[in-house]
Structure 1
């Protein structure tokens, strides 16, 4: 049976070693990872199975992590990970959505590999670690000490390897293809749902060289009055002859995602709106010019904010966030934000979405840029023009 690994075994080994070093610093013997992105990062596991409990267990004195999941998903663990058979543990379907707790099964594995009095790290802020999960694990491991290890792996993921950056570049090309397809489709009378449909088609089709896959959230197609809302849903209404379309979409390649947003004006924009677009692009470029290794996240934000303020505007939400490996419901790594007060120092290999969108009282506009930090500055992950598109 063919394996579907997208990285060399040595890269996975490096990742596991980095995680274990951080575990030792925090006095954690056993780490339980519930977030699908973190499980993928350490093992390669990829399947749409995270709607039921599944975990990756990392023990300091065990070479390989252990994947734990539903019985029928064990085949996906075999196909998409480098793990040996003993490192793939599956529970019976009787545990699925029943009175039985799969975390009792997880607890038995913890006791087997680390004993009853182990110090257990768990992702307390994870999307997939519920209050019930924590309660069941504490009940099943009464002698263990539980430690909040939320974002432990996320911070390690922050700096991408060259192989990861290569996938981010491919995701950027998919995002570009999606945006160009959307711009071509948008015209007066086109239904919002039909625009969404062609975006989804391009999302999966990708480029002639490589295909895409499902993303961490649906595209945001914000039309007319909904252009004032950053995360609105589309309808089946036709576009009016004169309207604004704010579109944020995502290219995803082997779970590595690049976010991209543009504003499309159906009909000639007003002079004031065109000026607003020019101001956003000028401020965006100023922020990008400030990106360099050794600079802090807040310094990049300050360069953008200074230019924006020169024109009498202020952005009250963060300017950007780290990007990379992700699963629904969101791609953000929940680590670095480009905002005032974030003193994280930029390093080559970090990837961001500079989300320079403005949602003002009467206008909304989104012209953004994903990028990777390089040794000398930044590399755009998409090359679509940073401008207001007019149809």
Structure 2
């Protein structure tokens, strides 16, 4: 397993403490990230119904597709399973398992918001589980996930190594005439060679005007001289993620691009200086937003300024549904929280998206970055421009000598 057994015992005991506070006899956990957090179970087959049943007292067990049962034994501490065949009935198996576990008359929590426990399946459980009581327990596992332990921070550092290796390769690959696909390939190869595992989202690579398309990535476009390339890379290790944005300009930086660069760097510097336990997420967002929105770059910050990041399966590495840096939220930061800070600017000069971002973890008295990579926009002037610069410098030296 990814962590020592005592790490999982702590997580399970903490969950049961919250269950007791909510007067729940058991919970049905169907969110893939939450199941992994509690047990280390993972599979790419999570589109089939799967559930971890955690009673307040007694043995936990998994309800899975029969093919996925091997993952329970190979990866987790769980020893009890209720597998169902491909032509079987997953929900019937779940309800029958609750009854056989002595929970027929129990108060049972379930994750009403889970992507992988759709409404029609929830309706079937309600129709069949008639003697017990079902309550929405959304967030009961996430309350534990939001603050990472030292062991989790160590795993995220390995994800960051992969992300940084990928970004370095992506920056190197950015030259006129290359395709976005080739940049994406360079990022991916370097990321995986550095120990990274398949991330929840493959890297985002867009160039020129395509950077204004939200969540677009490579589609074979050829990068032209003078254009910019926007990249966002999320490294992954044991499903934990760390992400960063960088921008490359294949030419000289214009005044508006220089302004965007300065304001993004200033926003990161100021918010990271302010982050500490006790700061509200709204205050953190305002620091970033006030700096970005007062620039003369022509763009704006159209999203939240950061989000929690950690365990993730496709389609997103984002834990923002647990907590995001957004205006109006008075939630306070705590030690061990991890955030992807994104003071990116949408619409520089009206047609460019540029980004410089960082992933940090909150410490006892501040915060620390997971990365060492330089943050500045990388400028790669053309060969002709470089030659012209050399000639100008040489001419200036001749004049000075005279």
State how far apart, in whole Å, the 2-side matches of 1:262 and 1:170 are.
19
Could you tell which deviates more after superposition, 165-174 or 196-205?
Answer: 196-205
User: What is aligned with 2:386?
Assistant: none
User: What is aligned with 1:384?
Assistant: 373
User: Which of 262, 267, 270 is equivalent to 1:286?
Assistant: 270
Consecutive unaligned residues of structure 1, counting only runs of 5 or more, are 96-100
Q: How does 1:299-314 map to 2 (within 5 A)?
A: 299-311=283-295, 314=300
State how far apart, in whole Å, the 2-side matches of 1:189 and 1:314 are.
30
Residues 1:318 and 2:304 aligned together: yes
Contact 1:29 1:114 in 2 (8 A): no
User: What is aligned with 2:323?
Assistant: 336
Could you tell which deviates more after superposition, 131-140 or 171-180?
Answer: 131-140
* TM-score, reference length from structure 2: 0.89
Contact 2:147 2:334 in 1 (8 A): yes
State how far apart, in whole Å, the 2-side matches of 1:302 and 1:66 are.
44
Residues 1:81 and 2:76 aligned together: yes
State how far apart, in whole Å, the 2-side matches of 1:197 and 1:310 are.
37
User: Which of 177, 192, 199 is equivalent to 2:187?
Assistant: 199
Offset at 1:80? 0.4
User: What is aligned with 1:98?
Assistant: none
Aligned-partner SS, 1:307: helix
Q: Which structure 1 residue ranges, 4+ long, deviate > 4 Å from structure 2?
A: none
Aligned-partner SS, 1:285: helix
Offset at 1:314? 4.9
User: What is aligned with 1:186?
Assistant: 174
Cα deviation digits, residues 84-140 of structure 1 (max 9, x gap): 2xx222112322xxxxx3111011111122432222211111121111221221222
Residues 1:131 and 2:119 aligned together: yes
Residues 1:349 and 2:333 aligned together: no
State how far apart, in whole Å, the 2-side matches of 1:387 and 1:230 are.
22
Contact 2:170 2:183 in 1 (8 A): yes
Aligned-partner SS, 1:22: helix
Could you tell which deviates more after superposition, 196-205 or 369-378?
Answer: 196-205
Cα deviation digits, residues 268-327 of structure 1 (max 9, x gap): 222221221111111121111111112111121222233334436752321001011111
RMSD of aligned Cα (Å): 1.6
User: Which of 223, 236, 245 is equivalent to 2:207?
Assistant: 223
Aligned-partner SS, 1:160: coil
Contact 2:166 2:190 in 1 (8 A): yes
Q: Is the radius of gyration larger for structure 1 or structure 2? A: 2
User: What is aligned with 1:372?
Assistant: 361
Q: Number of aligned pairs?
A: 375
Aligned-partner SS, 2:315: coil
Consecutive unaligned residues of structure 2, counting only runs of 5 or more, are 381-402
